[in-house]
């Protein structure tokens, strides 16, 4: 390849890959002295000014994504009619090549890849970005089975352009597009979830869920046909994992997991159940819950007195500011020193006294018959003395 220098900074070294929308080169950033990957858009895309505006905006948005499972974007630029993106260079393979060589994968390996894919795409979903072209060719693997998702922004920019131009590229990789994308609708996070489900299906079975003799037939299969059960194609896949993937491949977006983050949490929970990497993957029985602690002994509390309604005030009586009107049945408030107008306090019951022998007797009345007789005799004696004193005084006078 004839050596080419983009904007006097990026020297193209060799072609590293290609796709329906771009060609990828290994290059050298001569200003920073590092190896980078440069994705150059195909000329068929650069003839649409509206696409280029959208593409540059999407590239700037992706450049703000900093996540270990997303390929880092360093720069976006233009040299004449050549439009390009500068990214970190990864010396690895794309997932499509690995699937062709090794699929079907073990359950453990599949979950390891899928959880990382969901982590990267889920991070973009939280930032308001949709990938719109999730497929194994856009998923790179590095040493240690680290996953890096690439090609954010290009398909999303294309989705915002006119439909006739969009169809030229959509049919470049129709095996992974959601039914609504095949119908020309704008992609959403739920469409990315569908595409991840197709990748999961392919990793576990070594084949795609839908096949067709041409692009139109394949599109109708995504829209109408029910995908086969993975557990029937690979008996090592447990029905519970099969059910999760079937949900991602639902025809209606509302029936799928909403975002890649949600799907990732489901897969993590499945993995943490202790599934075996090989064999039937029977879930480990849940740990027996410890016996409940004995309930603490109740603490005795004396019964609370019945609530008494609040008193109401009446006009002042005999110089007092206010006089409370007690509710019916309330004890007499003799300590107030007055009786409010219009209210008669009940008299307290007569107290009982205890006889020295232990039985109760009523307190004697204050005036009885004997007392009255004695009082009459005393009165008569006084009258007799007065009469006698009168007679004596007359005799001496």
Highest mean pLDDT: which range of 183-197, 242-256, 301-315: 242-256
- What percent of the chain is predicted at pLDDT more than 90? 47
Cα distances from 244 to residues 14, 121, 126, 239, 247, in angstroms, run 41, 18, 22, 9, 5
> Is-catalytic flag, 133?
yes
pLDDT band at residue 327 under the 50/70/90 scheme: low
In the predicted model, is pLDDT for residue 346 greater than 70?
A: no
pLDDT for 63-97, tens place per residue?
A: 889 999 999 999 999 999 899 999 999 988 999 99
- Segment 210-217 long-range contacts (CB within 8 Å, at least 24 positions apart): 210/175, 215/171, 215/174
Predicted TM-score (pTM) of this structure: 0.66
Q: What is the mean pLDDT of the chain?
A: 79
Listing DSSP states for 1-61 in one string gives ---EEETTTEEEEEEEEE-SSEEEEEEEETTTTEEEEEEEEPHHHHT-HHHHHHHHHHHHH
Number of residues that make up the chain: 397
Residue from 94, 133, 242, 261 carrying the catalytic annotation: 133
Domains of the chain and CATH, by start = 4-88 (3.30.200.20), 93-271 (1.10.510.10)
pLDDT band at residue 137 under the 50/70/90 scheme: very high
Beta-bridge partner residues of 349: none
Rounded to the nearest 5 degrees, what angle is found at the Cα of 232, between the Cα atoms of 214 and 112?
85
pLDDT for 92-106, tens place per residue?
A: 899 999 999 999 999
pLDDT band at residue 314 under the 50/70/90 scheme: very low
pLDDT at 209: 96
CA distance 333 to 331: 6
CA distance 231 to 112: 19
pLDDT at 143: 87
């Amino acid at each position: 390849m004839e050596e080419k220098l983009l904007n006097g900074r990026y020297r193209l070294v060799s072609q590293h890959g290609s796709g329906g929308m771009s060609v990828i080169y290994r290059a050298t950033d001569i200003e920073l002295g590092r190896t980078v990957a440069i994705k150059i858009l195909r000329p068929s895309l650069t003839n649409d000014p509206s696409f280029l505006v959208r593409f540059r905006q999407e590239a700037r948005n992706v450049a703000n994504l900093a996540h270990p499972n997303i390929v880092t974007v360093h720069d976006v630029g233009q040299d004449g009619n050549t439009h390009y993106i500068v990214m970190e260079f990864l010396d690895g393979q794309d997932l499509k090549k690995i699937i062709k060589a090794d699929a079907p994968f073990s359950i453990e390996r599949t979950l390891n890849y899928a959880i990382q894919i969901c982590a990267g795409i889920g991070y973009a979903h939280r930032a308001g970005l949709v990938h719109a072209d999730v497929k194994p060719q856009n998923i790179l693997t590095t040493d240690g089975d680290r996953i890096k998702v690439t090609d954010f922004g290009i398909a999303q920019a294309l989705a915002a352009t006119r439909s006739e131009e969009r169809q030229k590229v959509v049919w470049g990789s129709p095996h992974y597009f959601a039914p609504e994308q095949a119908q020309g609708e704008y992609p959403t996070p739920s469409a990315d979830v569908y595409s991840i489900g197709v990748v999961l299906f392919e990793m576990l079975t070594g084949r795609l869920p839908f096949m067709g003799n041409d692009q139109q037939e394949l599109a109708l299969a995504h829209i109408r046909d029910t995908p086969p059960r993975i557990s029937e194609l690979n008996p090592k896949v447990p029905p519970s994992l099969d059910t999760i993937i079937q949900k991602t491949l639902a025809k209606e977006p509302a029936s799928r997991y909403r975002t890649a983050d949600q799907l990732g949490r489901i897969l993590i929970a499945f993995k943490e159940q202790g599934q075996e990497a090989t064999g039937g993957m029977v879930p480990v029985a849940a740990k027996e819950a410890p016996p409940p602690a004995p309930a603490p002994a109740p603490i005795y509390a004396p019964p609370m007195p019945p609530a008494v309604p609040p008193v109401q005030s009446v006009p002042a009586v005999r110089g007092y500011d206010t006089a409370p009107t007690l509710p019916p049945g309330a004890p007499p408030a003799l300590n107030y020193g007055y009786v409010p107008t219009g209210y008669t306090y009940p008299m307290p019951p007569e107290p009982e006294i205890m006889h020295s022998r232990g039985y109760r007797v009523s307190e004697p009345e204050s005036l009885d018959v004997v007392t009255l007789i004695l009082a009459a005799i005393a009165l008569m004696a006084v009258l007799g003395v007065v009469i006698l004193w009168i007679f004596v005084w007359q005799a001496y006078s």
